Amino acid sequence: MALAEAGARGRLLRWPRVLLFGDSITEYSFQENGWGTYLAERLVRKCDVVNRGISGYNTRWAKLILPRLITESSSADSIVAVTIFFGANDSALKELNPKQHVPLEEYAANLKSMVQYLKAVDVTADRIVLITPPPLQESAWEKACLAKGDKLNRCNATTGQYAQACVQVARECGTDVLDLWTLMQKNQDFSSYLSDGLHLSAKGNSFLAAQLWSRLENKLSALPSLLPYWRDVDHTNPEASLL
């Protein structure tokens, strides 16, 4: 059978999508042992995990980009989950990092605006997971800042305020939330979860992956494999199995 004929006979295969939207902690999630890689490995036969992490970005910029990533006409119905993971840059101290800083109230409003936009294009609340910024290990991040000739431009207490705002937005909007800031500090020294005081270490990636999967598994594990297991293909008549 010619390929063109096979294509005409078969339905177009469309993989559902999981969209990871965030800053550098999301952008780096496809590195070896990253939390995005963990998700992609578990969902490879069921849906595409799409990384739209953009290093250095904050919610002020993110809310402008989101409508360019998902529109009603671009099959929003194929999106089975979206993570929104911002705050590490928004919570930068205004006097030392005015370019990335976003005031707390605006940060909350921006998150709410993004959730409302997703709902408007038919991505329902049960498919949205907000993720708070992780805690900041100040001494390690200060070393990273000093190496670039900068002063310490973030503090953990401030990051915690943004994390609380994220949790509150999720509560108001009816979405799930992963409060990474609180969970990583629960009865333990959280420094091993971070590689430089801000970004995730291998252990931090593993922790986030496990926490996020526990929230997504019920939503996604029931998704069917889009093509049959190879042993189930009729080798005498593969068209019957595959088209």
Given the residues 179, 192, 196, 206, the one annotated as active site = 196
235 catalytic? Reply is: no
DSSP assignment of the chain, as one string? --HHHHHHHSPPP---EEEEEESHHHHGGGSTT-HHHHHHHHHTTT-EEEEEE-TT--HHHHHHHHHHH--GGGTGGGEEEEEEE--TTTTS-TTT-TTT---HHHHHHHHHHHHHHHHHTT--GGGEEEEPPPP--HHHHHHHHHHTT------HHHHHHHHHHHHHHHHHHT-EEE-HHHHHHTTS-GGGGBSSSSSB-HHHHHHHHHHHHHHHHHHHTTSPPSS--GGGS-TT-HHHHH-
48 is catalytic: no
29, 90, 176, 199: the catalytic one is 199
Which of 24, 113, 191, 192 is an active site residue?
Answer: 24
- Just list the catalytic residues: 24, 196, 199
